[in-house]
A and B are shown apart, each in its own frame.
With several copies, the nearest count.
Chain A
C-alpha cells in the first residue's frame, strides 16, 4: 500500500507548527511556492527555538569562545579543547527538561543518551558525565516521583552505557514545581588529529544511515521542547521516546571502529528532528545538496509518512557521509555490532534538500536557507532591577548556632546527595580519582602517567533571580572555584541556559544580563564557552522557573599526585581561610532556611580577586602545601568546615576574629576557600599568602571528634553526619520528618 504524504496547508496547521505569520511569509519566499506538508514539517523543525536559537543567537554571539586551548568552539556537536600531548577533551551540556517532566525515567535517560552521542559523534570516547537537576519543593506531590524517576533514568542509561557519573547538582524550589530541569553533561577523550565534524565534503558520495530503526518516536518533539506547558500536557505525551542504552553502547563501539577504519568523511548524530536536522546540517555546512530516498530508511513501524520519518526523534541513530571504497568494510563493522547500516542518499552539487518517498518527490528545499537563514530575533528586553546592599545587622542571629548549622546541613539543598549518586556508576573505567561528594569530579587521562581532568557543574538560581548579572558571574566563578579546589587549572566551560518565555521582556532581560555576567566572568577567569544549549519557555501556567544558567566547567590537573580533596585533612593540620570574614547574608541559605526570607542582592563577585585567590590556592595545591581544600559556597564558612569534617572524620577547633557572628559563619561572600596545611608548613603558607597579597586568616586546627567554632558551635562530627545523610533517604522513602 502507498502512504499519503499530502495534507492541506491550513492556517491552523501552520500555527500548530509554531510558525507565525512573518515566518510563514519568509517560508513562502524561500520555497518559492506553497510548501508541501512534509516541507512545512521540515521548516518548522529547522526554525523552532530548539534548533534555530532564534531568540538567543544574538546574545550567545557575545560570549567569549576562543583561546589558545580551544580547538572547536560552539557550532559543532560539542566543544573541543586541547589538553596537551596530542589529547583533546570533548564536552557539552544539554537539557531534557520537558520530556523529563512528562516521563521522568525515559526523559532523563534519553537526555543522557543524546549528550553522549554528541560527544562520541566527534570521535571521542565518553569518560565522564554530570547531571544538574532542579526539582519543585519537596512537599509538592509530584516531586518524589520525579526525583526517583529522573535519577533512575540517568543511572539506567549512563551505567549501562558505561560512563562514570562524577558530579552534578540537585536543588529544590517552588518555582520548579511545574517545570523541572534536567541538564546532562558529558565529556569524552580523543586524539587531536582524530576529531570528526558534520561538514560534508565531496559530491556524489553516499549518505549512510546508522544505528537503530526509525519509529514514530517524538514526532513533533522538537516543537514540544520549545512550547510552554499548560494543562493540556497530556496531549503531548506520545512524543516521549524510549532510550536503548544497549544500542547506544554498540553504536559507540561501532562508530569508533568505523572512524579508525578511515571510512568517515562527515558524521552527525540524529537529535531533535533527527533526519532533517542532521542532513541539513551536513549539507549546509559543506555547501552541498543532499538527496534522501526514504524508502531506504530502516523503519520499525508500518506505513510511516515522509513527514514522520523526517521528524522522528527515534534515539541511537546517526547519519554519515562515507568514502565509497570503504562501504563493505563499514557495513561489516555495523553488522558485527547488530546495527542498521543503509545507504539512504547522496550528496549533490545543487544545494537542494531533496526528499524522495515511494518514488515521488515530497520535499525540495534550498538547503543553505534551511540551515543558515532561520529567523533571528532581537526580542524586547528590560534591564533587570537590582537591590541595595543589606548590612548584617538587618538579619536576626540564630538563637542557637549549633542548631542552625545542624539544620542547614540537613536541609534539602545542603544535605548529602549520596542517595542520588550511589545510583550512578562512579567508578567504571577505573580512572575515577574523585567521585561525587567533593568539589569536582576527577578522572585520570587514560594512557597518561600523571594527567587528570576535573569537572564541575554550578549555578545558584536564587542569585540569578535576584541579580541576573551578578548571578551569571557567580555561576562561572563557583565553577572555577570548584575546579581550583581539586588542584585543576580551569580550561573552558559549557553552558546550559534554562529560562522562561523569552517573549516576556523581563525574562529576556534576565537572559541578557546573565549572559553579560557569564561572558565577563569567562573572560576574566580564562574559561571560554566552547559549547552549550539554550532551553526557553520553561513556564507552567505563566509562571517561569528561576533563571538557571548552568555552567559545566572542565579543568586539567598535570599531576594528580598533587591533587587536593575535601576530606584528606589530618589531625593537627592548620586550617586557613583564604579570603576575609563574611558580611553578606542576603540571598543566603541562612536567610532562606533559618529566617524564612528570600530578599536582597546576591553576594557580588570581584573577578580580579576571584582569579588572584584561585591562582594562589592552585599554586599551594600544586606545591603540595594543601593537605585538603574546599571552596566556600552555599551555607558559608560554617557549612564548609562541617563538610570538611564530615569528609575527613576529624573535628576542628576554630577561633575566628568575628564582628558579626551570624554573617561570619553563614555569610556567602564569594571567592573564598578553606585550605588545610600540615603544621610544619603553616608558617611558610602564611608567608606565601602575605607575599602574594592574598588575604587569609589562620582559623584553627584539625582536632578531636567535634567541630568547634569559638563559643558558638560545638557539634560532634557523628551528629553532623547523621543530620547530613538522613534527609534524602528519608524523603525518598516517604517518611515524615523529611
Chain B
C-alpha cells in the first residue's frame, strides 16, 4: 500500500509546575512594554513535520513515538499532536 503525505504539528510545552524562565521573562517585558493586560505567558515549541505514512493513524503513531523518543523531554514536558492529511 502506497504512502501518503501528511503535514503534522507537534506541540511541546512545559508541564505545570515546571518553572519557565523564558515565559516569565517575556511576561515581565510585555508588562514593562505597557501590555498590562497580560496575566501569564508560557513558552513552548511547535514542530511542523512533513512525513509520509500509510494512514493518518500510522502517522499519528509515528509522531507520538518521535515525541517519546526525542521531541519531548517527558521529565518536564508534555506534547500534543495534530495531523492534517
A/B touching: CB–CB < 8 A:
yes
Q: How far is the CB of A139 from chain B (nearest CB, A)?
A: 16
Contact of A387 with B by CB under 8 A: no
Which residues of chain B from 56 to 85 have a CB within 8 Å of any chain A CB? Answer: 73, 75-76
Contact A244 B75 (CB under 8 A): no
Q: How long is the Cα–Cα vector from A237 to B15 in the complex, in angstroms?
A: 12
Q: How long is the Cα–Cα vector from A503 to B11 in the complex, in angstroms?
A: 46
* Interface residue from A217, A242, A734 paired with B21 (Cβ < 8 Å): A242
Contact B75 A242 (CB under 8 A): no
Interface residues on B, range: 10 to 19
* Interface residue from A215, A240, A300, A314 paired with B75 (Cβ < 8 Å): A240
Contact B75 A102 (CB under 8 A): yes
Q: How far is the CB of B47 from chain A (nearest CB, A)?
A: 18
Contact of B19 with A by CB under 8 A: yes
Contact of A580 with B by CB under 8 A: no
Q: How long is the Cα–Cα vector from A103 to B14 in the complex, in angstroms?
A: 14
Interface centre among B17, B19, B75 (most CB of A within 10 A): B19
- B11-34 Cβ-contact flags toward A at 8 Å (1 or 0): 000100111110011001000100
Contacts of B18 in A (CB 8 A): 217, 242
Contact A314 B76 (CB under 8 A): no
Q: How long is the Cα–Cα vector from A240 to B77 in the complex, in angstroms?
A: 12
Which residues of chain A from 204 to 221 have a CB within 8 Å of any chain B CB? Answer: 212, 215-217
Contacts of A315 in B (CB 8 A): 19
* Interface residue from A103, A106, A237, A301 paired with B17 (Cβ < 8 Å): A301
Q: How far is the CB of B65 from chain A (nearest CB, A)?
A: 16
Smallest Cβ-Cβ distance to A315: which chain B residue: B19
- A73-104 Cβ-contact flags toward B at 8 Å (1 or 0): 00000000000000000000000000000110
Known: A102-B75, A240-B76. A300 touches B28 (CB 8 A): no
Q: How far is the CB of B28 from chain A (nearest CB, A)?
A: 7
Contact A103 B21 (CB under 8 A): no
Q: How far is the CB of A146 from chain B (nearest CB, A)?
A: 13
Q: How long is the Cα–Cα vector from A555 to B24 in the complex, in angstroms?
A: 41
* Interface residue from B14, B19, B24, B25 paired with A217 (Cβ < 8 Å): B19
Which residues of chain A from 85 to 127 have a CB within 8 Å of any chain B CB? Answer: 102-103, 105-106
Contacts of A338 in B (CB 8 A): 28
Q: How long is the Cα–Cα vector from A196 to B53 in the complex, in angstroms?
A: 48
Q: How long is the Cα–Cα vector from A242 to B23 in the complex, in angstroms?
A: 13
Contact of A247 with B by CB under 8 A: yes
Q: How far is the CB of A97 from chain B (nearest CB, A)?
A: 16
Known: A216-B17, A301-B17. A103 touches B75 (CB 8 A): yes
Contact of A246 with B by CB under 8 A: yes
Contacts of A44 in B (CB 8 A): none
Contacts of B21 in A (CB 8 A): 242, 244, 246-247
Contact of A241 with B by CB under 8 A: yes
Contact B32 A734 (CB under 8 A): yes
Known: A338-B28, A734-B32. A244 touches B76 (CB 8 A): no
Known: A102-B75, A103-B76, A106-B76. A215 touches B17 (CB 8 A): yes
Smallest Cβ-Cβ distance to B32: which chain A residue: A734
Contacts of A240 in B (CB 8 A): 75-76
Smallest Cβ-Cβ distance to B74: which chain A residue: A237
Contact A237 B75 (CB under 8 A): yes
Known: A103-B75, A237-B75. A244 touches B19 (CB 8 A): yes
Q: How far is the CB of B79 from chain A (nearest CB, A)?
A: 15
Smallest Cβ-Cβ distance to B20: which chain A residue: A242
Contact B76 A215 (CB under 8 A): no
Smallest Cβ-Cβ distance to A302: which chain B residue: B17
Q: How far is the CB of A733 from chain B (nearest CB, A)?
A: 10
Smallest Cβ-Cβ distance to B14: which chain A residue: A242
Contact A103 B73 (CB under 8 A): yes
Q: How far is the CB of A305 from chain B (nearest CB, A)?
A: 13
Q: How far is the CB of B29 from chain A (nearest CB, A)?
A: 8
Q: How long is the Cα–Cα vector from A102 to B18 in the complex, in angstroms?
A: 15
Contacts of B75 in A (CB 8 A): 102-103, 106, 237, 240
Contacts of A242 in B (CB 8 A): 14, 18-21, 76
Q: How long is the Cα–Cα vector from A106 to B25 in the complex, in angstroms?
A: 18
Contacts of B25 in A (CB 8 A): 246
Known: A246-B25, A338-B28. A314 touches B73 (CB 8 A): no
Smallest Cβ-Cβ distance to B16: which chain A residue: A301
Q: How long is the Cα–Cα vector from A142 to B59 in the complex, in angstroms?
A: 26
Q: How long is the Cα–Cα vector from A734 to B31 in the complex, in angstroms?
A: 13
- A314-325 Cβ-contact flags toward B at 8 Å (1 or 0): 110000000000
Contacts of A244 in B (CB 8 A): 19, 21, 24
Known: A242-B76, A246-B25. A215 touches B19 (CB 8 A): yes
Q: How far is the CB of B20 from chain A (nearest CB, A)?
A: 8
Contacts of A215 in B (CB 8 A): 17, 19
Q: How long is the Cα–Cα vector from A300 to B28 in the complex, in angstroms?
A: 14
Contacts of B17 in A (CB 8 A): 215-217, 301
Contacts of B14 in A (CB 8 A): 242
Q: How far is the CB of A236 from chain B (nearest CB, A)?
A: 10
Q: How far is the CB of A221 from chain B (nearest CB, A)?
A: 14
Q: Which residues of A come within 8 Å of B, CB atoms?
A: 102-103, 105-106, 212, 215-217, 237, 240-242, 244, 246-247, 300-301, 314-315, 338, 734
Q: List 26 A-B contacts (CB under 8 A).
A: A102-B75, A103-B73, A103-B75, A103-B76, A105-B73, A106-B75, A106-B76, A212-B19, A215-B17, A216-B17, A217-B19, A237-B75, A240-B76, A241-B19, A242-B14, A242-B18, A242-B19, A242-B20, A242-B21, A244-B21, A244-B24, A246-B21, A246-B25, A247-B21, A301-B17, A314-B19
Q: Which residues of B come within 8 Å of A, CB atoms?
A: 14, 17-21, 24-25, 28, 32, 73, 75-76
List 14 additional contacts besides A240-B76, A242-B20, A242-B21; criterion CB under 8 Å.
Answer: A102-B75, A103-B73, A212-B19, A215-B17, A217-B19, A242-B14, A244-B19, A244-B21, A244-B24, A246-B21, A247-B21, A300-B19, A301-B17, A315-B19
